[in-house]
Amino acid sequence: MEFTAALVYSRIVASEPLRSPTSGLILGLVIIIVAVVAYSAYITRQISGLRALQTNVAERNRRDALQLLRIQNDLNLLSLTMRDILDDSQNYPVTAWPAQFQRIRIDLEDALQKEEALAVEPRNPGQRQYLAAELGQFWRGVERMFALAAVAQTDEARAEIRESLLTEVAALSTDVDRLLVENNENEKAAAEQASEIYDRVERQVYLFLTATLAAILLTSLYVIASNRRLFAELAALSEQRSELAQKLISTQESTLRHISRELHDEFGQILTAVGAMLGRAERHAPADSPLRTELREVSEIAQETLEKVRMLSQALHPVMLEEAGLEATVSWYVANVEKQTGLTIAYEQIGNPFAVDGGAAIHIYRVLQEAVNNAARHSGAKEAWVRLRFGGDGLELEVEDHGKGFSGQTVNRGIGLVAMRERAELLGGTIEFSTPAGGGTLVRLRVPREKAEAHG
């Protein structure tokens, strides 16, 4: 029996240790975090580029278009002004128009300067030189016109407008129209580029979400598999632990039974024989002899020792369980504890008793022993209550005291709690440790009838 328990224990100790899934989970978490950080950096860069595109292209295109429209408006004003000069029905002489031309020239030059600064793609040198040459030629023609008008050559001044200045303004308007078209094309290209960025980011979002979900799924599957493996190994270890507990308790009971029988049979017989021999020696001694008195004292000591040996034998393994049953053993034990410890115990048996199996009875008795010993040694209580209930569905044992409770108890009681739980599990029952209404401790053991009742 001892070899079997040791074999079970060595098998549990030598079993493969549980491998923690922590390293795998940390790896999965690191991969997810790195992916999130990398993708966040990518999205930030794309958004920054999109913001720069919208700011540097779209907004500047809009403002550039406003300046081009302003230039076109100034050119239209020049055309209208020159037509007004050519209109003979006007009563204004040509010399009355220089101020109007000067205002338009100042506004036009300001618009051209701002437009050149706002242009997303700067004008090539040839284009800029062409515009500057056209404008310079136009304003020189205007100056010639006003110079002719100043010397009363009105017809020649108007001829300058018809033959040169109107044509140059039309050419300038055509150039501005071309710039507006280019501006629109640039804005369209910027919109297409922004759309491409949106599409690329959208595709990357879907890819990232897919990759993240895949990583989460793989991590979850790994966690599930690890948990299943861990729980399977824990279940196996629990089964091995239960088997070991059964073997150890069985070995313990077998050892205690052997010691109990040795004490009861061997030492009991020896002390009985010594008592008988002392009795015969006492009878053979003279009545008034001091030896007779001493032999009587020794005989009494031998009898007391015999009683203590029998009590120790019963404590180690009560033979009464096999001979008289659980109810009688509980009654004897309660009375014996009261006599030894001075603890007042109220014992109550409830229900119709049924025969309890010997294997179950020893476990119930050990739970009773542990609970009563705790009440007597650690609770500080003067009274205790023991209740043994027999019901249709099983057996219930209660041990109650109104002492210090769990908080005032020692580590040894904690070990006793573990032992009581093990025995309750072996019985297929349950055990509860609670605090009754009056304080202290209440131990309640419930055993199903099919596990407790003796069969056959």
Map 277-334 to HEC letters: HHHHHHHHCCCCCHHHHHHHHHHHHHHHHHHHHHHHHHHHCCCHHHHCCHHHHHHHHH
Which helix (DSSP H) or strand (DSSP E) does residue 248 occupy? Answer: helix 166-261
For the stretch 191-227, pLDDT in tens is 787 778 778 878 888 888 888 888 888 888 888 888 8
* For residues 349-372, average pLDDT: 89
Buried b (16+ CB within 10 A) or exposed e, 91-130: eeebeebeeebeebbeebeebbebbeebbbeeeeeeeeee
For the stretch 312-337, pLDDT in tens is 777 777 777 778 888 888 988 898 88
Residue 7 has pLDDT above 50, yes or no: no
Confidence of residue 190 (pLDDT cuts 50, 70, 90): confident
Position 72: which residue type? Q
pLDDT value of residue 45: 79
What DSSP assignment string belongs to 56-108?
IIIIHHHHHHHHHHHHHHHHHHHHHHHHHHH-TT----GGG-HHHHHHHHHHH
Residue 448 has pLDDT above 90, yes or no: yes
Cross-strand pairs, 400: 385, 442
3-state secondary structure of 385: strand
Which helix (DSSP H) or strand (DSSP E) does residue 446 occupy? Answer: strand 441-448
Q: How far apart are CA 298 and CA 285, in angstroms?
A: 14
pLDDT value of residue 53: 63
pLDDT > 90: percent of the chain: 13
Q: Is the whole model's pTM more than 0.85, yes or no?
A: no
For the stretch 47-101, pLDDT in tens is 777 776 666 677 777 888 888 899 899 999 999 988 888 886 667 788 888 999 9
pLDDT value of residue 77: 92
Confidence of residue 409 (pLDDT cuts 50, 70, 90): very low
| Residue that the structure tokens 């059964």 belong to | 246
| Residue that the structure tokens 């540097």 belong to | 56
pLDDT value of residue 15: 46
Residue 385 has pLDDT above 90, yes or no: yes
pLDDT > 70: percent of the chain: 87
